[in-house]
Structure 1
Amino acid sequence: MIQDRTSFSKNGYLMLVVLLALTAFDFALLTQAKGLFFGVILIGAVILALCFVGFYMVQPNQGKVMTLFGAYAGTDKTPGLRWTIPFYLRKSISLRVRNFESGRLKVNDKAGNPIEIATVVVWSVQDTAEALFEVDDYESFVTIQSEAALRTLATCYPYDQYQEDEVALRSHGQQIAASLREEIQARLKKAGIQVHEARISHLAYAPEIANAMLQRQQAAAIIAARSKIVDGAVGMVEMALDKLTEQGVVELDEERKAAMVSNLLVVLCGDKNAQPVINSGSLY
């Protein structure tokens, strides 16, 4: 495996001054040289002219990957004007943070329900040598592997939380994002890519089951609300009976208590407001 390393390079401004001075000196000698000495000076001028090919510019958060006759020679990440061996071939690669949003993928969750899911991945090149030489096209590699990781993650978790301690795609956003980042990072490590963040940007049931699942969610919400109402109503009825007995307001036998409990539960649990009935006769 090719590892990223620093290439041979020098400060371009310093080398520019040196080469200009040597060129001026060589030109002065060339005007006075004759015979064999003239040929030596002329060869020196050609070498100096070739040295000017070694200048290049490195932008901030950019790397220059250098190869020498097909062999990796290193990467220069120092910004500014630089100089290196003229025979080096130099290729620019961006080290800036990038992001992309995947398309909406249709997959089945852990429960087998078809869902639509998409992700946003924030990434950057960490190892320039691996990015260029370990994979054919690292940008395409990031896209394809991120979508493959998203498909794998979606099949490991249900869309909704059906049990109290169950991790679901919709209810555990932070945990799902961490798992997704780890899954993508494991796939992109070989390409020298660092994943900074990965989050689900779109999550929904597939259109063919969306209506049925909406009704299921509504039914679950109604059941949960009714359960809470019943718990509260039972507590209120119990408190009312205890208060009546404790303060001696009225004495009720078991049959009358059952009727009172039934009436109170109807009033407290009903969807509509109760209509009061005034009893103008005796208690019984």
Structure 2
Amino acid sequence: MTDMHPVVVKPDVSLGQLVTDLQNAATEEDKSWVAGQVIVRMRAMTKRMDEETRESFERHTGETPEMTVQRLSTCSGAELEAWLSAYPRAVELLERRPVQTARGNDGVVISTHEDELLRIEEIFGRNTTPEDYITGFERFVRENMNQVPALIAVTQRPRDLTRKELSELAGLLDENYYSEAMLRAAYGRARNADIAANIIGFVRQAALGDPLIPYATRVDNAILKIEASRSWTQKQKEWLRRIGRALKDKPVADPTLLDQGVFADKGGFSRISQEFDGDLDEVLHAFNEAIWAPSAA
């Protein structure tokens, strides 16, 4: 037997409510007690975050969710409160649940208990349909496509697009509640399909009317187009296919793509560029152009 009590006394209390309790705590002792609950809840929530939300959290705070929780666990209640005020979207990102697309996920869930309706949630906003959500997204893109640098890059010069600009675009859209997962869900429910189009594809469709094509298909078509564009050595063809495979996971071809992972083990951009007689930068530009050309369909 033990007299110890669990840190989180009421596990059904939301993180947002715990943060409010922290702000309203009358004494430092109360703040410290509530801060312990907040940290435990944050730590649990980091384990269920999907990759896109993790990236959004890191863009917003400058560090991974795990690093944040580890650092904040040693802070006082007042310091935790100050951090939460400095990064107001952190709670929303931690509480965000993975969005289900029209196809759902690929796992198989087996249960023998009776189904029970727990709640009804409008993931696109109150009284907002998937079509309304898409309309709002298209309006946002058109109103900002000639003003926001990241949108200008995606819509007007995809050939020169960098991964930094792609990250800025994803952050901008996520701050305005147009994450890639939400857009995929909206287009999937409105068009009865699971569109794996990539965030760039959704933006270009909204701004320019480009067809929504699964991103992996665009990359495959781009590889074929580039291979057919000139004579390549066998070694160069192998590198083109490796770059193509990497682009399926990390969109946008720029030198930083080749300075990490397996490419870094092979000497990175500088070393691989020698295989292309110093013309690798142009090859990467050609990839971006081929992937996002309207004819990529």
Please, what TM-score do these two structures have when normalized by structure 1?
A: 0.22
Q: Which has the larger radius of gyration?
A: 1
Which structure: greater helix fraction? 2
Please, what TM-score do these two structures have when normalized by structure 2?
A: 0.21
